[in-house]
Chains A and B, each alone.
Chain A
């Protein structure tokens, strides 16, 4: 068993980086250097952690790096961290998106506040992923709102104020349900054991409750996570927020923060309330499938590249929800993998769109045409990311979608059949979007577009490498995810999850 200090360092390092960046803000560009160094160190640390991670710690199920300290006993508040195969790659993703966001936002190197917020956001997100306590998770989950709000509200597009408020208030209202639900669950547990109030994951998982209670709690949890994820029909804040946010903000929001929703659904809704699964599964599966089709349809007709990716994210997160809720092991592993892959792919998309915006100050599809001529490398990079998103065999998107669909087909065939349409639609809207932006003859400003510069190529390189490597050789990742998913399924299995 490894020390929980590793995870504490992962949480604290970005906060210290943010503090240091603000201290040196008077020296032009110094804050950016601090942030860049911090992000690289953070990523390196997460990679070390993922190599060290040991899923055979005795008595900790598949968790490692376990540590718990009670902070305020009357509140049942504790600092409790642990990492398993499900959260491991989300932590890596958080650090990776941070690196991409910071290096991709070189034009903001004179704005110390911007990089500081990014660092804080990463810290809070990692905190949510490693939180092994429901209340602690909730606190980190809520905390992520503050930096993301400021990032969107201060550095976003024309409608940034509206987008940021809508984002915040939607999520905040969604959290109200989660908050009430978690309090209820905590007290239910306390009344059963007669001990101190606690929200520790392992303790709450042992709470016994009636089917009705479980369903109500599941609904409360699911609403909060559905807003964050987003799951249709609670997604309406997301296209505006993704489109109005600055590039780095869109990357964080859809690449990373959206995963908090699906992660929460898997870890806390499914993990703590297995009794409700039989009732809630058809509902969420249906919503997921509707989200896939609806997102794909809107992605096809939206006039804006950022919104296209936003709607495509809605569809992709529909696949994740599908995988999480089917209860089949293969599909759940696929869902966890897709969370990571989608994060990388979306970050890549928003980076490239950011590059285009930098050149043309517009992401409206109608303004862009024939960019392939003046910017062939940019087009090639976009193609790789796009093909991965479509699910071309040999690239990362394929592996995860394939796992989800075969897993889902075995247990919930009809939903899987309809969801498969989404794969076809993804090809349709992405290729069509690509045609409109990159094909044809570039005229006017479009012909003057410069190709990807060297720094830009270097920023996007990790995305391309990951997309290819995980497409060809996903085994090391799958090996780490599978035991934890297996563990989760065994825990919820008595309540009727098919294996």
Chain B
């Protein structure tokens, strides 16, 4: 018996290698450099690495256009349109988050490259999740992503809340990972493979007389994912963690974890378990209704803006699930479009929160936003646009993101579901608007101005630009998302 080494198509791996390589390089550099590595250097490395990964996705895309999707490393890794777009979104979010964190770290007096090392590693994990075609690889990506995040959440060591949030996230997250891997084991038992393509092939060509094992495995996988994307009722950790984590980390988490986890979820449900659509759809139906309604309603009663955005992000997760529920190429494209437009907006939103949070990163009451747009029209106005985008107002990407997933759901016969989620959006509109109103309140005109460092300003500007440009002219991005799912895994 000879050991065959699987062929490796390196183009598929380049983004992961770049991100992980940059992380390792920084790690080694901190050990070798005398004294501490300047945080500017670390930021520059992170931003350059993520931009490099971003550029590579274009190369991948043109390769895909010519050769079509392919798998590599014994079918464990996929190079397809879906993964390429998701990778680009992760890379962009990482670059934005690194810039915000840079200004934050400087203000807090945090030196060193630890944040960047961890962020790069987690991003590599998230990219791996978007490319994974095997339950084990998904788990690998999930763990790389999660373990880095546990540390990042605890990053602000001087704040008790940060450590508390990290512990909470770690304990619950480990449970979720355990549940996920148990689910993967059961699915393996039922189908004889952990490879998504093989599972799909097996289920397509065999009729399971006793599907109990598969259902149990699938349900556990779903629970694991639901935890990561914070779908109700598996959302309880998220407000606490969002609140406790340092604000730049929260923004990074909100964007990157969602992209990675949703990409993997879509691949598992649509690609591997597509034949079981009738089984998982009703479960998702309930999850979506709970997620959108609970997320929106609980956001209403919050005073802490980070918790508010945590519930808002739960609400968004419900909408993204709507595209998954559709179970069609249109649905996957819609979810991808949603993720691609939501990620920059949420990173930019948390960038504003980071600035307003102040030196102690603790000014997160809604009252700190009173009259912000009166005192600083540009910052406040941009933040209002970001909030309106999250609300789903037309002329922002938020509208078309919601439009895309709702259209996909209605197309698959989900009219009532679409209506319920839209009413959830109307509830959510309530608190976004209240926040916008707070921004424009005309008392407290003499409150202290928020200083806006240049890098963070660029991030906020980029978020606003993306939401406005593609909000007015969504054609290219929509075609891209649609095209990406046509190039879905074999």
A interface residues, Cβ below 8 angstroms from B:
71-77, 139-140, 142-143, 145-146, 149-150, 153-154, 161, 164-165, 168-169, 172-173, 176-177, 179-180, 183-184, 186-187, 197
Contacts and interface: CB of A to CB of B under 8 A. Distances in A.
A154 B430 contact: no
Contacts of B482: 74
B216 interface: no
B424 to A, nearest CB: 9
A180 B400 contact: no
B135 to A, nearest CB: 31
B415 A184 contact: yes
Interface stretch (B149-157, B159-167, B279-287, B402-410): B402-410
Contact of A143 (B393, B425, B481): B393
B445 interface: no
Interface string B453-487: 00000000000000000000111001101100000
A149 B427 CA distance: 16
Given A72-B478, A72-B479, A180-B406, 4 more contacts: A75-B400, A161-B437, A172-B425, A183-B411
Contacts of B481: 74
Contacts of B333: 74
Given A77-B474, A179-B406, A173 B415 contact: no
B419 A142 contact: no
Contact of A183 (B418, B434, B478): B418
B182 interface: no
B419 A183 contact: no
Interface in B349-384: none
9 contacts: A71-B475, A72-B473, A74-B333, A75-B403, A165-B437, A176-B419, A176-B422, A183-B418, A187-B407
Nearest to A149: B433
B426 A172 contact: yes
Contact of A173 (B399, B407, B423): B423
B395 interface: yes
Contacts of A77: 400, 474-475
A200 to B, nearest CB: 16
B407 A183 contact: yes
B410 A184 contact: yes
Given A142-B399, A180-B422, A169 B429 contact: yes
A244 B35 CA distance: 63
A176 B296 CA distance: 15
A134 to B, nearest CB: 13
Contact of A168 (B404, B415, B433): B433
Interface of B: 333, 388, 393-395, 399-400, 403-404, 406-407, 410-411, 415, 418-419, 422-423, 425-427, 429-430, 433-434, 437, 440, 442, 473-475, 478-479, 481-482
A179 B422 contact: yes
B433 A72 contact: no
Contacts of A173: 423, 426
A150 B399 CA distance: 19
Contacts of B407: 75-76, 183, 186-187, 197
B378 to A, nearest CB: 12
B474 A72 contact: yes
Given A142-B399, A165-B433, A177-B419, A73 B388 contact: no
Contacts of A140: 394
B87 to A, nearest CB: 21
Contacts of B433: 149, 164-165, 168-169
Contacts of B419: 176-177, 180
Contacts of B399: 139, 142
Contacts of B478: 72-75
Given A149-B433, A180-B410, A169 B426 contact: yes
A340 to B, nearest CB: 26
Would you list the 7 A-B pairs with minimal beta carbon distance, nearest first? Answer: A176-B422, A72-B475, A173-B426, A183-B410, A74-B482, A74-B478, A139-B394
Contact of B394 (A142, A149, A169, A186): A142
A74 B423 contact: no
A183 B406 CA distance: 8
A146 B434 CA distance: 13
Contacts of A169: 426-427, 429-430, 433
B146 to A, nearest CB: 34
A402 to B, nearest CB: 39
B437 A176 contact: no
B440 A168 contact: no
A11 B434 CA distance: 29
Nearest to A170: B426
A187 B418 CA distance: 14
Contacts of B473: 71-72
Nearest to B479: A74
Of A74, A146, A149, A183, most buried by chain B (CB within 10 Å of CB) is A74
Contacts of B434: 165
By CB atoms of chain B within 10 A, which of A71, A143, A146, A172 has the most? A172
A221 to B, nearest CB: 13
A75 B429 CA distance: 23
A150 B439 CA distance: 12
A164 B437 CA distance: 10
Given A74-B482, A180-B410, A168 B429 contact: yes
A169 B411 CA distance: 26
Contacts of A165: 430, 433-434, 437
A127 to B, nearest CB: 10
B422 A143 contact: no
Contacts of A164: 433, 437
A77 B410 CA distance: 16
Nearest to B470: A72
A179 B421 CA distance: 12
A73 B479 contact: yes
B394 A143 contact: yes
A340 B306 CA distance: 47
Contact of B404 (A75, A139, A145, A149): A75
A165 B475 CA distance: 32
Contacts of A183: 406-407, 410-411, 415, 418
A142 B392 CA distance: 10
A19 B395 CA distance: 16
Nearest to A161: B437
A198 to B, nearest CB: 12
Nearest to A142: B394
A167 to B, nearest CB: 10
A142 B393 contact: yes
A464 B395 CA distance: 38
B472 to A, nearest CB: 9
Nearest to A187: B411
A78 B422 CA distance: 23
A145 B436 CA distance: 14
Given A142-B399, A173-B423, A179-B422, A187 B410 contact: yes
Contact of B474 (A71, A150, A172): A71
A156 B433 CA distance: 16
